[in-house]
Chains A and B, each alone.
Chain A
Amino acid sequence: MVTLSTPMARRLPGPTLTLALAALLLVASVLSLTTGAAGLGAGDLLTALWGEGLSLRDQVVFFDIRLPRLALGMAVGASLAVSGVLLQGLFRNPLADPGIVGVSAGAGLGAVLAIVLGGLLPGALIALVGPALVPLAAGLGGWLTTLILYRVATTSQRTDVALMLLAGIALAALTGAATGVLTYLADDRQLRDLTFWGMGSLAGATWVKLATALPLMVLTLLVAPRLAHGLNALALGEAQAAHMGVDVQVLKRVTILAAAAATGAAVAVSGGIGFIGLVVPHLLRQAQGPDHRPLIPHAALLGAALLVLADLIARSIVAPAELPIGILTALIGAPVFLWMLLQRSGRGR
């Protein structure tokens, strides 16, 4: 006799996964700190931790080059991964990655606008926001694109995947054109800024750069766990979420703001690094299931670890030159995206 059974969902116990991810992040961090052109290794790191015996040059390498780069990588990776989780929860669809649906492009336009036209703003405003102008403008750009995308692709019961992806293409094309116009208008100094920014890399990380974007990122990482319960309910549709006690309008507004702020801040300091927000949540849902309560902190850990590792590979694979990290994440992420599309068509929807 043949017994048929529906496939059971497999779940890894939460604490095990948390520990494994934390260990992965630790290993990635140590590797990142002890790898580089200056030839400083693990022994030197230990010496540095004890705070003596390092030359001034070595101290600069550790504390002003590698450490800010590591911190920026962790912050950007965690922000992009958590943005992915938030957008996917909002759109009730695992394919909503900030890069794919045009949110990063919108944030990019905001950043370019700030670089090229920022000088036209009143001096008082510039003095107020200071170097955080570019991340803030990027966050604003991301927020506007997310709002438009949500209007186009979502009704109260469901997200139309095809509409969402097509709207993403349209938004990316539109913001790309606007970015092109601005590039054309830019003067030489601005062009240099734009080129640096557009390379999409963690190179040139400084504590100052990190400090401009960190507040928005930290804010999102603090707010996101509070949205987890509501996003779980939202998986059953807006009406059901409301009947289960969720204030859906507030949930949607805060989720859009948080995802846009983190994406904007990440794009402002690292350019367009794609697919982290797609791959990380996908891997974690396979391992632990879709519950947003563990998913959000786990995504922050895995996003940070993966981006630090990707950066490590990007700067060692063609050393002493450096591969733009965006190329590397796309190489890994795009096939995963295609694989997920295949899985969906196999499911028949």
Chain B
Amino acid sequence: MLELVDVSVQLGRRRVLHDVSLTARAGEFLAICGANGAGKSTLLKAALGELPATGSVRLNGLAVAQTRPATLAHLRAVLPQDSEVAFGFTLGEIIAMGREAGDFATRPDVDDLTLAAVGLQGREADDIRNLSGGERQRGHLARALAQVWEPVSPQGPRWLMLDEPVASLDLGHQLQVMRLARSYADAGGGVVAIMHDLNLSAMFADRMAFLVSGKLEAIGSPGDVMQQALLEEAYGCRIALNHAPSTGPWLLPQACQ
């Protein structure tokens, strides 16, 4: 369980996160949504212990701020929004780094499994700097996945923490990555992902958390959070909200105000 209680973050004079309390459960895919500057990345960084924050953050019962990085690395892996890699590491070397940072140093077979999971099989010898933006993003996802390859450890569930995992992906690969996150949660792991795409979030996530100006404005099932008034207010545009019988709510943006 990932548990945030009254988490606030102050950057300089500005308070960018106000008393956010939320719980993400193992076996669940939680999407964090909101407009630009609403505090999504700040919330994720606070949950990771990357930023000085007040309040408490616990992962599987461990206080994140007081836990050694090596212990946390066995429990959770992080996909940052963009990662620039120094020197000419190959994709295979980077995935192996992730795998060895987790519990899977003796499982070289995991490398190929993660490559296949993100659709980059056979590309392990490529210099990561020569990949396209979307390929690089999937490559880093493969590294994160290798670090927490088995969703459940003897010490409890493992976690994938993703900052905009589908931001630079085409339609097909967006679905591939979302299915991957979904099946990780279905297998007992926890997934927390910052998402811009509300439709994809509603299709794949169990719950959505919606931030407005650093405050947690709504949290719940996609049906609860995808409310016309809330979204029109947050994004400053008109929205046509629909419901698909198989996948739940979806929307189309209309004219901006």
Contact = CB atoms under 8 A, between A and B. Distances in A.
Given A244-B98, A290-B87, A237 B74 contact: no
A232 interface: yes
Interface in A8-45: 8-9
Contacts of B70: 245-247
A157 B126 CA distance: 23
B198 to A, nearest CB: 27
Contact of B83 (A7, A236, A246): A236
A9 B97 contact: no
Given A235-B89, A236-B85, A289-B90, A9 B147 contact: no
Nearest to B83: A236
A295 to B, nearest CB: 9
Nearest to A347: B129
B94 interface: yes
B232 interface: no
A172 to B, nearest CB: 24
B84 A237 contact: yes
Interface residues of A, number: 30
A94 B87 contact: yes
Contacts of A239: 50, 78, 80
Contacts of B127: 6-9
Contacts of B147: 244
A66 B126 CA distance: 46
Contacts of B130: 6-7
A289 B89 contact: yes
B8 to A, nearest CB: 20
A235 B86 CA distance: 5
A339 B251 CA distance: 53
A236 to B, nearest CB: 6
Chain B CB within 10 Å — which of A158, A229, A290 has the most?
Answer: A290
A243 interface: yes
A344 to B, nearest CB: 12
B77 A9 contact: no
Contacts of B68: 247
Chain B CB within 10 Å — which of A8, A242, A243, A347 has the most?
Answer: A243
B42 to A, nearest CB: 13
Contacts of A6: 126-127, 130-131
B93 A289 contact: yes
Q: Contact residue range for chain B?
A: 20 to 34
Nearest to B128: A9
Contacts of B76: 243
A93 B84 CA distance: 12
Contacts of A157: 84
Interface string B140-169: 000000010000000000000000000000
Contacts of A236: 83, 85, 94, 97
Given A6-B127, A6-B131, A9-B127, A285 B94 contact: no
B80 A240 contact: yes
Interface string B116-130: 000000000111011
A244 B78 CA distance: 8
B126 A244 contact: no
A193 interface: no
A252 interface: no
Interface string B65-79: 000111111101110
B48 interface: yes
A213 interface: no
B88 interface: yes
A233 interface: yes
B181 interface: no
Contacts of A237: 80, 83-84
A92 interface: yes
Interface string B26-56: 0000000000000000000000101000000
A291 interface: yes
Nearest to A235: B86
Interface in A154-205: 157-158
B101 interface: yes
Interface of A: 6-9, 92-94, 157-158, 229, 232-237, 239-240, 242-248, 285, 289-291, 347
Interface of B: 48, 50, 68-74, 76-78, 80, 83-90, 93-94, 97-98, 100-101, 125-127, 129-131, 147
20 contacts: A6-B126, A7-B130, A8-B125, A8-B127, A92-B87, A157-B84, A232-B89, A239-B50, A243-B69, A243-B76, A244-B97, A244-B101, A244-B147, A245-B70, A245-B72, A245-B74, A285-B88, A289-B89, A291-B93, A347-B129
Given A9-B126, A245-B70, 18 more contacts: A6-B127, A9-B90, A94-B86, A94-B87, A232-B89, A235-B85, A235-B87, A239-B50, A242-B69, A243-B76, A244-B98, A245-B69, A247-B68, A247-B69, A247-B70, A289-B90, A290-B87, A290-B93
